[in-house]
Chains A and B, each alone.
Chain A
Amino acid sequence: MSNKGQTSYFYDVIWSRFRVNRFALAGAVVVILMFMVALLAPLISPHDPAAIDAYHILLPPSLDHWMGTDDLGRDVLSRMMHGAGISLMVGFVAIGIAIVIGTVVGLLAGYYSGWADAVLMRFVDIMLCFPTLFLILAVIALLEPSIWYIMIIIGLTGWMGVARLVRAEVLSIRERDYVLAARSIGASDLRIIFRHILPNVMGPVLVSATLGVAGAILTESALSFLGIGVQPPTPSWGNILSAGKEFIEFAWWLSLFPGLAIMVTVLSYYLVGEGIRDALDPRLNR
């Protein structure tokens, strides 16, 4: 129980350190804003993102269409708002999968060491040999492009770093006094792993998850850009940009807004991740 109190104190400290990091705070604000936009998109988007108007294509930004219209006359702002949800969903689900797999593999390898460790870590080594985008491309192209496959595959190819990280943490934590103490009073492995070790590796995992979300958003937009990501008419930042690249000369609004949105969002996650990392790192204590 003291462990629990310790943990919440720990998070208090982290928050107080995070709070003073202006970059990280700004990132957090953007992330929260994006969430709100994504959740409220159906309510606040000025137009139906799917409403085609063949007679008003590629209109520049105006009062009615703040970000102009695309090559099918759809309102870009509304599509951007709905696309926010897709990007966030891909980021979170994919990284959720990666975190779960990575954490479990890392915990098992680190805690049991020996054979389990050797086998699991060799598996990690093997997976790391494949260029990630190659694996993703192969699987998505062979199956059919659907947003669910994309999320699953980004997740399945993104857990190795987490596994290594968790394993390293576990190796150091499992020799600590409170773990040894728990073991000496006969706590089960499961209990030790989940009650004593897991909470203590969550910090670094959180950092890597935040950075991972940024990476996953980039990967999804790249896939959509290549035409094998989110399929029309579902809007995603990647496919809005992909449609816009053809008209970059005169319809700059079609490339600029999604490009900026991806950049700002990814940047925000990255800043938040870095902020948490710095806050967690006692060596960087100010």
Chain B
Amino acid sequence: MRLAPVLRLILAALCLFIFSCSRETPPVKSSARSAGPPASGDALVIGTIGDASNLIPILASDAASHDIAGLVYNGLVKYDKNLNIVGDLAESWDVSQDGLVITFHLRKGVKWHDGEEFTSRDVIYTYRVTVDPNTPTAYAEDFKQVRNAEALDSYTVRITYDKPFAPALASWGMAVLPAHLLEGKDITKSPLTRKPLGTGPYRFKEWLAGQKIILEANPEYFEGKPYVGRYVSRLISDLSTMYLELKAGAIDLMNLTPIQFQRQTATPEFTTRYSKYRYPASMYVYLGYNLRNPLFSDKRVRRAITMAINKEEIIHGVLLGMGQKAHGPYKPGTWAYNPGIKDVGYDPKVARQLLAEAGWQPGPDGVLAKNGKPFQFTILTNQGNDLRIKTAQIIQQRLRAVGITVKIRVVEFASLISNFIDKRNFDAIIMGWTISQDPDLFDVWHSSKTGPKELNFIGYSNPEVDRLIEEGRGTFDQEKRRRCYWRIQEIMAADQPYTFLYVPDALPAVSARFRGIEPAPAGIMHNFHKWYVPKMEQVY
């Protein structure tokens, strides 16, 4: 699934990348067991830090809600385990020669969980409600590129675009909503916000607010009834408690922290009970500068800051080595990633020189100053992510060594977005972006996206990058797109609008009683409906 930008931001913030992870080499799996015959039954219990808020996916922007909705709803298309776009509710599709018209042929005989049949009406409704200006959704942007969406018959939908739009197909991975329950009603007040009803492998059973959400297998799922009988999402608001719950066997799956992965779960006692996986997450963590702030307007200064930061030290100290240096917005190994870019590298001496060139001279106390003003700024980051807070502290120490005073402020995520990022009220910020499968950079890097509440909140504006982004999303030719994105990475390496810090590894652990897990570039959850627990080992 392609995640809309705001969601990407949130997923990245919470560091829950189970549903969007990928890798190019086979993952490390630390325990292998013989598989018994597939059997129905049992339950997968996961822990979540925050309660879901709204189970209509276009209205929610938190990971907990989307994790649930992802099992209840389907899109027209989805990513398979190798991250190719394949049909989901659409059986097939045709793309016109010029790429401007997509015709989806829908699956026949798919039933909503209440027994109604799924038809083109649902698709058209979903499109209309998403672009409706009265719908408070963050996901309208891609659908706004659509000129016209029409139902040719009950099972055929034709989408027309004004100009070629590379992410077009992927954007139809958006969950399709049931028109027969929503049409003509105020979607924000619909009972579906608390009791979702979709076409997916799991049906909603109950939601005990503040405690858990229970889904049960949909016997009529069009790809066959899932083996695992129930999916339970338990709210465990404290991460250390969650880990202890995992150890006590009360939850079956969670993402481990690097320390848990290496130092706390490296025992035979743990590895016989849990399978651990490790693969690069589809996300990167960065230090972003508010480019409206004169402090950061000089690219020599930004470059100097990058040079003063030792990325290796961060990866070692924070990720215990389980991650890699980032130097651009793509994941190493993907086609858009430019392997020719050299990392700026840690060199405090040159950093000091660059700062001196930019007019920052050390005072008697070693603190840099220009025109009598000391070099001082605040790094903001979100609460609940210890890795980022630690990263901030390491950066603080390194920058102090070159004479820059850094303050750290940790703010709750929602408040960080609304009070600081949306208001452009920050100096620098440590955050993460999920790396989406389509390499389009429009939302985060195009200069037209610097408006209030838009995602280019650092205010980056480079005409050449703008042109390359437009060119890249306006063609379906992968080779052409690659050239655009490679060039963009060169420009960013010179500009240093962010200091790209690292791409962490995803480190999920799953109870060993679950079989059929197929680690793939898409992570482990892509075939959840094929997971099973042998009859002998079922616990619930």
| Chain A residues engaging chain B, CB cutoff 8 angstroms | 50-52, 54-55, 57-58, 71-73, 141, 144, 227, 231-233, 243, 245-250
Contact = CB atoms under 8 A, between A and B. Distances in A.
Given A54-B317, A144-B409, A246 B239 contact: yes
Contact of B394 (A52, A246, A248, A249): A52
A51 B397 contact: yes
Contacts of B314: 54
26 contacts: A50-B397, A52-B394, A52-B397, A54-B313, A54-B314, A54-B316, A54-B317, A54-B318, A58-B259, A71-B386, A71-B390, A72-B393, A227-B383, A227-B384, A227-B410, A231-B408, A231-B409, A232-B408, A232-B410, A233-B408, A243-B386, A245-B240, A246-B243, A246-B259, A246-B260, A250-B264
Contacts of A51: 397
Nearest to A51: B397
B233 interface: no
Contacts of A233: 393, 396, 408
Contacts of A232: 389, 392-393, 408, 410
B162 interface: no
B408 A249 contact: no
Given A141-B412, A144-B409, A250-B264, A54 B394 contact: yes
B394 A71 contact: no
Contacts of A54: 313-314, 316-318, 394
Interface string B257-298: 101100110000000000000000000000000000000000
A231 B239 CA distance: 19
A116 B142 CA distance: 65
- Determine chain A's interface SS by DSSP, over half rule: loop
Interface string B379-395: 00001101001101110
Interface of B: 239-240, 243, 257, 259-260, 263-264, 313-314, 316-318, 383-384, 386, 389-390, 392-394, 396-397, 408-410, 412
A233 to B, nearest CB: 5
B317 A58 contact: no
A50 to B, nearest CB: 7
A85 to B, nearest CB: 19
Contacts of B317: 52, 54-55, 57, 72-73
A116 to B, nearest CB: 41
A71 B394 CA distance: 11
A188 to B, nearest CB: 50
Contacts of A249: 264
Contacts of B316: 54-55
A246 B408 CA distance: 21
B394 A231 contact: no
Contacts of A231: 408-410
Contacts of A250: 263-264
**Which one of A58, A71, A243 has the greatest number of beta carbons of chain B within 10 Å?**
A71
**Which one of A232, A243, A248 has the greatest number of beta carbons of chain B within 10 Å?**
A232
Nearest to B384: A227
Contacts of B384: 227
Contact of B393 (A52, A245, A246): A52
A71 B239 CA distance: 16
A246 B397 contact: no
Closest A-B pairs by Cβ, 4 of them: A54-B317, A54-B313, A246-B240, A245-B240
Contacts of B239: 246
